[in-house]
Amino acid sequence: MKQYRVIIIGGGASGMFAATLLGKTLGGGVAVVERNDRVGKKLLATGNGQGNIGNRDFSLSHYRGEETLLSAVFSQAPQQKNLAHLQALGVLSSFDERGRIYPLSRQASSALELIRRAYLNSGVEEIVNAEVTAVKPSGKGFAVHTKAGDFFAEKVVFAAGGKAGNGFGTDGSAFALVRAIGHSVTPLSPSLVALKADTAYLKNLKGVRMEAALSYRCGKTQLVERGDVLFTDNGVSGDSAFRLSARIPQAFPLSCTIEFLPDIEKDALIALLTEKASAQTFTALELLVSVVHKQLAKNILRALKVAENAPATPAVAKKCAELIKNFPLTVTGTAGFGGAQVTKGGVPASEVTLNLESKLQKGLYLCGEALDVDGDCGGYNLQWAFASATVAAEEVLKSLGV
């Protein structure tokens, strides 16, 4: 049974980042064990392949999870520390007008290549096609059983990811490994995912993308997400939908709304349409031409039960304006884990220390999506992956006395 100082379970963003930090000190005493035939598959899809590795607009409000743990992790591994480490690996970055941080190349593959290069050059071993079947405390460490053989490690970093994006090998089955040790796992649900919805009055909009605001009233709080909305054959996708999916309860159906033309106040829109209706003889459809997408205009009139060739009266103008600003959307579900960018849920904060060591099994550390932490769309989840990997790796080195 080959022995290592540290075995990292999972060759995703957090596992590879931890490997670069551990490799600098421990070199060949570290192994990354990955179930896929290569590491970093999910990282390659980040930011639509452009590698959205963080966000300049950092605050804990962009995360869901236990605040004490979040604060402790980001205090020990602040954004600038992780970006500086990436830069030292050769990953040079910049940010766009929305604060999203990307490699200058705008290629996720370039970040993956340099991260992987760093830990391989330090002597870290990469073991692929090696799905882990069990992790068992053994002597002064752990026996790690895989489909590619059995290994021993003094310390184990569990960075196996969650359940989202199961096409990348993250199907949630790895949680069984920590459950066997005694850990619990909170309910898992897909996040940053397209929303399924009743499309009765959104027909003919498939493939149309527009700026809009999606909202849901949660108790006394109005959750609003503005950005791209992409209409699909069974609901809505795009930035707005992804961000709202992270915040709404998983208790469908939910009554949401779409605000088209979010830059115009409702009263101003009513005045504009009323003035247009009064200026000359328009049909109801002509009233909305140049105001909203023509297919949306047809659906608005259908929802209002107004014929397209009906006269555009001030009363019709007012009804159209009100529906444009408050279009009902019944959300019936999500596109599921297969289409999700991240998992909501995981091992609860109460079961790890503020340094991410398991409270149930000394020598086991958890990071990344394995923990019950998820962030907003825009680089926040990779930011968590890097920060938690840093804290876990530094604690491993401290515990080894090196």
Using only C-alpha atoms, the chain has a radius of gyration, in whole angstroms, of 25
How far is 199 from 204, CA to CA, in rounded Å?
10
Query: 199: pLDDT confidence band, cut at 50, 70 and 90?
Result: confident
Give the span between the Cα atoms of 301 and 130, in whole angstroms: 57
In the predicted structure, residue 180 carries a pLDDT above the cut 90: yes
For strand 195-197 and strand 209-218, is the pairing parallel, antiparallel, or unpaired? unpaired
Q: pTM of the predicted model, to two decimals?
A: 0.91
Collapsing DSSP to helix, strand or coil, 288 comes out as: helix
Supply 57's token pair. Answer: 């607009």
Q: What is the pLDDT of residues 347-358, one digit of tens each?
A: 999 999 999 999
CATH architecture assigned to 2-189+341-400 = 3-Layer(bba) Sandwich (3.50)
Q: What's the longest Cα–Cα distance across the chain?
A: 87
In this predicted model, what pLDDT tens digit does every residue of 265-290 receive, in sequence order?
999 999 999 999 998 889 999 999 99
3-state secondary structure of 74: helix
Q: Cis check for the bond before 253: say yes or no (omega within 30 of 0).
A: yes
Q: What is the pLDDT of residue 316?
A: 97
In the prediction, which pLDDT does 287 show? Answer: 97
- Is residue 18 within 8 Å of 169, Cβ to Cβ? no
Phi, psi of 327 (to 5 degrees): -90, 120
What is the rounded distance in angstroms from the CA atom of residue 2 to the CA atom of residue 11? 19
- Name the segment(s) of the chain with CATH classification 3.50.50.60: 2-189+341-400
